[in-house]
Structure 1
Amino acid sequence: MSTPVRPQVPTQSSPMPSPSAAESRFADRAQPRRKWWIAPLGGVLVALPVQLVAAFLLLMSPMALDSCTAANPCGRTEGAIGAALVLLLLALLSLGVPWYPAKRKSLGVGIGVSLIPLGLTLASIGTLLFGIGFG
C-alpha cells in the first residue's frame, strides 16, 4: 500500500504579515465611523453664535479708542483689537478643520478638534475685553 504524498509546508513562519492582512487593517481604519458628523456639526453650531458676538464686540471696540490722544496713548487697546481680529479670522477659517479628523479618527479626536473654533473665538473675546480694560 502506498502512502499519499503530503505537500511540504515551510517550517519557518514569515515575520511580516501578508500584504493583504496589512491592507485590510489600514482599510478598516480608513473607513468613516457612523454618525461621525455630529461632533463637527455641534462645534460649528456652538461656535457660530459666539463668533457673531465676538464680531459685534470687535466692531464696537473702536469706540474704546475715542479717548486716545497724544498725551494718553492707547497702545494696549490697539494691540488687543488687532490680536482679536487675527484670532477671530483664525476661528472662522478653522470651522472647516474638524470635519476630516472627525471622519477618520476616533470619537475623542473628533470632539477635541471640534472645540478648536470655539476656543479661538473665546480667546478673541477675552483678548478684546482684556485690551479694552474689562479684564
Structure 2
Amino acid sequence: MSTPARPQVSQQTTPAPPPSVAPSFVAERPQPPRKWWIAPLVGVLVALPVQLVAAFLLLVSPMALDSCSAANPCGRTEAAIGTTLILLLLAVLSLGVPWYPAKRKGLGVGIGMSLLPLGLTLASIGTLLFGIGFG
C-alpha cells in the first residue's frame, strides 16, 4: 500500500522591515525641559512667606470687628474676612499646581503657573485690607 503524495508547500518567508520602517507601538515620551523644576520651586519659595504674612493678618483681623455693634454694623469686614480665608486656602492648595505643567509643557507655562499661588495670596491680602478699611 502506498501513501498518498502530499502537495509541496513552499516555505517562503517575507523579509522583516527594517526597524526604522516598522510601526512603533510604544509611544515615545517627550523628555521634560532641562531644569523644569526651577520655576515652581521659586514660586513656592516666594509664595510661602507671603502666605504666612496673609495668615497672620487673617488671625489678627477679628480685632477690626471690636467696634462693631447694632448701631455700627461691620458687614463688609465680615465678608472680607470670609473671602480672605477662602482665597488663602485656595492659595495654599495651588502650591502644587505649577509642578505638572512645568514638567510637561515648557518653561513659559511653568513660570506663568508659578505665579498663581502668589497672585491668590496677594488677592487675599488686598481683600482683607480693603474690607477692614485700609484700602
Q: Shared fold by TM > 0.5?
A: yes
Q: Secondary structure at the match of 1:115?
A: helix
1:22-56 superposed Cα distances (whole Å, 9 cap, x missing partner): x44xx22xx21111100000000000000000000
- Say if 1:19 and 1:71 are closer, same or farther in 2 by CA, change over 3 A: farther
2:75 paired with 1:72: no
Preserved CA contact (<8 Å) 2:36 2:106: no
**Residue identity in the other structure for 2:49:** P
Q: CA deviation at 1:84?
A: 0.3
User: Do the aligned partners of residues 106 and 69 (structure 1) sit closer, same or farther apart at CA in structure 2, a change above 3 Å counting?
Assistant: same
Please say if residues 88 and 121 of structure 2, whose CA atoms lie closer than 8 Å, have aligned partners that are also in contact.
Answer: yes
Relative to the length of structure 1, the TM-score reads: 0.80
Map of 1:1-135 to 2, 5 A cutoff?
A: 20=24, 23-24=27-28, 27-28=29-30, 31-135=31-135
Letter matched to residue 61 of structure 2: S
Larger Rg: 2
- State the distance in 1 between where 2:118 and 2:134 align: 21
The Cα of 1:60 is off from its aligned counterpart by 0.6
- Partner of 1:82, secondary structure, is helix
> C-alpha displacement at 1:121, in angstroms?
0.1
C-alpha distance in structure 2 between counterparts of 1:36 and 1:68, whole Å: 50
CA drift at 1:76? 0.2
Distance 1:98 1:109 in 2: 8
Task: Give the aligned residue type for 1:66.
Answer: D
Q: 1:101 and 1:126 mapped to 2: Cα distance?
A: 28
Q: Name structure 2 gaps, 5 residues minimum.
A: 1-21
Shift of 1:19: 5.6
* 1:32 aligned counterpart, secondary structure: coil
Q: What amino acid does structure 1 have at the position aligned with 2:85? A: L
What is the letter of the counterpart of residue 41 of structure 2? L
Letter of the structure 2 residue corresponding to residue 90 of structure 1: L
Q: Which structure: greater helix fraction?
A: 1
Q: RMSD of the alignment, in Å? A: 1.6
Runs of 4 or more off by more than 2 Å in structure 1? none
For residues 106 and 32 of structure 1, the distance between their equivalents in structure 2, rounded to whole angstroms, comes to 8
Instruction: Work out the CA distance in 1 between the residues paired with 2:93 and 2:118.
Output: 12
